Structure formats: C-alpha cells, structure tokens
C-alpha cells in the first residue's frame, strides 16, 4: 500500500467518533456554507474599523484535529518503555533531530530546524486537558471552551478578544480555512469563519452593472423587514463590503521565494493568514485547522506525512510574514494524545498527555520544556502519558507575554498558571 503525498494528510482512519464531529453535523444539516456568516451577523459588527490597532501582537492557534501523537512528534528517546511499547512504530534515537538527553524531534520536522536553531521554536510535553477525555467531539469542545463545568458556551479566544477591546471588531478573531466556527471563537464578541475573503463577497461583485443591482435588491428586501432577519441581512451586506476592502488589501499570493506545499489545505489557510497579517488589517487572533491526525492504523508513514505537512507549512508561513513575524506567535493544540502502546494495526488509539509546539515572537526556543512524568507503569494514566501541565496554563503563559493588558482570570476562569518558562 503506497503512502499519500505528504501535503495531503488523510482523515480516513476508520474512527467513528472522529467522523461524528461538529463539521459533519453542520454539513449534514446543510449549514456549513452559512456558518461563518451566521456567526458574524449577530451583534453590532460595524462599530469599529478593521484598520485600527494594526501594529499589535497576533496569536495564531493551529488545531491538530484528530488527536496528534505527541510521542511521535517529540520522542522521549530516553524511555525504554517507549521502545518496548512500540516495537514497529517507534522512532530510532539516531533518526531524531535536535535531541537532548530526554527528547528529540521527529525527522519530518526538518523544515523547522533553522527556526529551532535560532531559538524560535520550543517543544512542550506532557500537556493536555485536566481530566482525560477520549471522545474527539467532547474533547474538542472542552479544549476550545476552556472553562470546564460552565453552562455558558463561550470559547476562550472569544473571551480573549472581548478582553482586548470594549467594542471588539468582527475581524479581531477569525477562523481561516473553514466556514465552521470553532468553539474557541463562539461567544458574545463578534467573530468570523471563512475559507477566504472572496467567499464573503456578494454575487457578481466584479460586474459593475449587475453587482450593484443585486446588492440594491437585497438591501430593499432586508430593509422591508423590521425583525432580526432584516437586521441580519443588512449586516451581511455591510460585512460583504468590508470583506471586499480586506480582500483588496491582502496581497495576492505569497512573496517571491515563498513556497507552501502543493495541495495542502493547511498551506492555503496559512498563506491567507500571512497575507492578512501583512496587510495590517487589525486581526488579533486567528484559528486554523490542520486535520489528518487520527492515526489508528499505519502510524509510521501517516504521522510522517502529517508532520512534514505541518512543518513545511509553518516554515513557509514565517518566511511569508517577513518583518511582520515579530508580531506573531503560533501555538499548536490537539484534543488529546495517543496511547503509549501501539495497536494491532500498527497505529495508536486515543490517549491523554500530548506535545505542543510554540513558535515565533516571544518564544524562548531551541529546547524542550516539560514536567516530565516518565512513562513508567506507576506514572501512566490508564496506559497513557500523564498530563503534568494544563494546556490552559500554556496558553496563559503566551497571553501574559504577548497581551499583558488581558485579565487572564476572565479568559481562563479558575485556572492557576504554572509557567514552564518558554516565553519571555
């Protein structure tokens, strides 16, 4: 069986839980195409300008959907238990990149070696949810809500955006690459989910005669309705106009010499994100999805493919940013890690503790950070790597360094930060 190209990681893992996600639910209901517009239409989305606060710091959250295998990403080569549990899928010590006495990077991270050497990439381990949850759907929701036990469905990025401005703008927090709004962006602060800004434009927007006629007809229809539908329609028209301005400001394609992997959905999303940041339109947080991490079978070549795509896209992204890279911090998150022991299909099933990458501005990189619990049988949690660092503490460390005005107690209620020291 031949492996797919590295730029097209597959989600066909046979995992029923992963298939029943919010994406499939929305698509089954016929709502996916409208999800981003629906999110952005509620509330007053026109109170502030997209061209304000253009020089501020920016957080990019890359979600590794499916449950990334942190033990393959950052390999604990000093642990004999790792090699004993994975006789066919373990990565040999002599193949690892940037190894220290305990950890080493999967060799597919080679595109990020220069950034690692420059101290711009840090590896964090034994990170995760405070309580194990091996359901993709539930774990994603918990991760992105980041307020366990709360009845209010408000995502942590939405709370972050609300804490940075008294009147948040719809372009402050954006999901790029999908029209499905992640839980992290859901809440009272306006947000936007889109595949690209061209997707938000009105039909026939390039036609100087037909375009204005279509807009005028829709405006007259929406104006005739006094209720929420009419107001939503008027806001949608205004959003389309603003999206047109943004699309015009975002450069078409990356600068010369910047190449993203071909056919990579992550590359397309990060390319759009880089253009948006270089255009200085005021974005503060961007959520980007990177699928294909649910490796129940054939872990070896599958995880190599997905890591190579991730590393190549991130390397291209920071090159694409140019001078703006000094404002951008990237963090990777996944809903859970994988089991220590490989299964009968040479894959790994849903686990617990995981690895996180932090890249870019403010990162004290070139090394690994962990309160490493070891992989001994007495430290495992039901056969999984234990979590010794709450992922919310990781995010708090980033936000405290890059957005010092934020009241972190409102973004992550009830969490006591325990910094690892990876941010300056």
pLDDT digits (tens, 9 = 90+) for 314-335: 999 999 999 999 999 999 999 9
| More confident call, 6 vs 369 | 369
Cα 244 to its chain centre, rounded Å, is 25
Cβ-proximal residues to 52 (8 Å cutoff; 6+ apart), any chain: 169, 282
| 131 phi and psi angles, rounded to 5 deg | -130, 135
∠ CA 29-32-36 to the nearest 5 degrees?
Answer: 135
- Residue in this structure with the two tokens 């029209």, named with its chain if needed: 179
Question: Among 32-36, 65-69, 168-172, 285-289, which is the least confidently predicted range?
Answer: 32-36
Rounded (10°) angle between helices 391-402 and 156-164: 20
pLDDT in tens, 78-111: 999 999 999 999 999 999 999 999 999 999 999 9
From the CB of residue 396, how many other CB atoms can be counted at a distance below 10 Å?
A: 23
Question: Cα-Cα-Cα-Cα dihedral of 342, 345, 350, 355, to 10°?
Answer: 50
pLDDT in tens, 212-271: 998 899 889 989 988 888 887 887 888 788 777 777 777 777 888 899 999 999 999 999
Spatial separation of the C-alpha atoms in residues 113 and 107, rounded to whole Å = 10
- In this prediction, residue 41 has a pLDDT band, given cuts at 50, 70 and 90, of very low
Averaged pLDDT, 13-28? 51
SS3 state of residue 125: strand
Spatial separation of the C-alpha atoms in residues 41 and 36, rounded to whole Å = 9
DSSP 166-207: SS--TTTEEEES-SSPPGGG-SSS--EEES-GGGGSPTTTT-
- Residue in this structure with the two tokens 């279509």, named with its chain if needed: 214
SS3 state of residue 177: coil
Task: Please tell me the pTM assigned to this model.
Answer: 0.87
Q: Quick one: tokens of 286? A: 């961007």
What Rg do the C-alpha atoms of the chain give, in angstroms?
Answer: 22
122 neighbors 361 (Cβ within 8 angstroms): no
Q: In this predicted structure, what is the pLDDT of residue 91?
A: 98
SS3 state of residue 299: helix
Nearest to 261 by CA among 230, 321, 207, 306: 306
Spatial separation of the C-alpha atoms in residues 297 and 281, rounded to whole Å = 43
Q: In this predicted structure, what is the pLDDT of residue 14?
A: 61
Averaged pLDDT, 51-63? 79
Q: Is the dihedral of CA 100, 105, 111, 112 positive or negative?
A: negative
67 neighbors 334 (Cβ within 8 angstroms): yes
State percent of the chain over pLDDT 90: 66
Quick one: the chain helix, strand, coil %, rounded to 5? 40, 15, 45
State percent of the chain over pLDDT 70: 87
SS3 state of residue 287: strand
pLDDT in tens, 179-205: 889 999 999 998 889 887 777 788 888
Question: What integer best gives the mean pLDDT of the chain?
Answer: 87
Question: Mapped to the 3 state alphabet, what secondary structure does 36-74 carry?
Answer: HHHHHHCCCCCCCCCCCCCCCCEEEEEEECCCCCHHHHE
Contacts for 113-117 with beta carbons within 8 Å, 24 or more apart? 114/315, 115/315, 115/318, 115/359, 115/365, 116/365, 116/366, 117/366
The residues pairing with 61 across neighbouring beta strands, listed in sequence order, are 287, 331
Nearest to 265 by CA among 177, 202, 137, 176: 177
Cα→Cα distances 22→153, 181, 193, 258, Å: 14, 10, 14, 34
Question: Among 121-135, 172-186, 220-234, 356-370, which is the least confidently predicted range?
Answer: 220-234
Q: In this predicted structure, what is the pLDDT of residue 198?
A: 77
Q: In this predicted structure, what is the pLDDT of residue 107?
A: 98
Kind of pairing between the strands at 285-290 and 192-194 = unpaired
Rounded (10°) angle between helices 210-223 and 228-249: 150
Asked if residue 38 has pLDDT above 90, the reply is no
- In this prediction, residue 51 has a pLDDT band, given cuts at 50, 70 and 90, of very low
- In this prediction, residue 170 has a pLDDT band, given cuts at 50, 70 and 90, of confident
Domains for the chain: give ranges and CATH numbers. Answer: 35-199+258-411 (3.40.720)
Q: In this predicted structure, what is the pLDDT of residue 246?
A: 73
Nearest to 273 by CA among 411, 173, 123, 362: 173
Cα→Cα distances 395→127, 358, 402, Å: 11, 10, 11
Q: Quick one: tokens of 115? A: 């950034």
């Amino acid at each position: 069986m031949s492996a797919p190209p590295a730029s097209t990681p597959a989600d066909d893992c046979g995992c029923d839980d992963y298939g029943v996600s919010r994406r499939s639910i929305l698509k089954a209901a016929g709502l996916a195409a409208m999800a981003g517009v629906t999110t952005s239409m509620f509330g007053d989305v026109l109170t502030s300008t997209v061209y304000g606060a253009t020089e501020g710091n920016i957080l990019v959250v890359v979600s590794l959907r499916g449950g990334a295998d942190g033990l393959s990403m950052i390999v604990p080569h000093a642990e004999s238990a790792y090699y004993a549990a994975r006789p066919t899928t373990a990565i040999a010590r002599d193949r690892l990149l940037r190894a220290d006495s305990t950890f080493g990077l999967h060799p597919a991270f080679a595109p990020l070696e220069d950034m690692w050497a420059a101290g711009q990439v840090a590896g964090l381990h034994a990170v995760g949810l405070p309580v194990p949850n091996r359901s993709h759907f539930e774990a994603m929701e918990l991760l992105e809500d980041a307020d366990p036990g709360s009845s209010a469905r408000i995502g942590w990025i939405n709370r972050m955006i609300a804490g940075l401005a008294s009147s948040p703008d719809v372009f402050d927090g954006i999901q790029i690459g999908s029209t499905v709004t992640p839980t992290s962006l859901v809440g009272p602060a306006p947000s936007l989910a889109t595949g690209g800004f061209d997707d938000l434009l009105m039909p026939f927007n390039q036609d100087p005669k037909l375009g204005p006629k279509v807009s005028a007809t829709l405006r007259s229809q929406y104006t005739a309705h006094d209720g929420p539908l009419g107001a939503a329609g008027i806001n949608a028209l205004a959003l389309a106009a603003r999206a047109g301005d943004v699309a015009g400001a975002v450069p078409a394609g990356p600068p010369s010499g910047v190449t993203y992997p071909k056919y990579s959905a992550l590359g397309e999303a990060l390319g759009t994100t880089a253009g948006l940041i270089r255009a200085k339109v005021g974005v503060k947080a961007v959520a980007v999805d990177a699928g294909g991490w649910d490796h129940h079978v054939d872990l070896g070549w599958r995880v190599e493919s997905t890591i190579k795509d991730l590393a190549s896209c991130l390397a291209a992204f920071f090159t694409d940013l140019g001078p703006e890279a000094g404002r951008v911090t990237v963090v990777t998150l996944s809903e859970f890690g994988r089991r220590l022991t490989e299964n009968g299909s040479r894959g790994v099933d849903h686990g617990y503790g995981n690895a996180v990458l932090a890249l870019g501005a403010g990162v004290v990189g070139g090394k690994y950070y962990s309160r490493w619990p070891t992989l001994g049988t007495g430290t495992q949690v039901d056969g999984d790597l234990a979590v010794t660092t709450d992922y919310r503490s990781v995010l708090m460390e980033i936000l405290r360094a890059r957005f010092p005005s934020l009241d972190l107690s409102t973004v992550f209620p009830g969490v006591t930060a325990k910094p690892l020291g990876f941010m300056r």
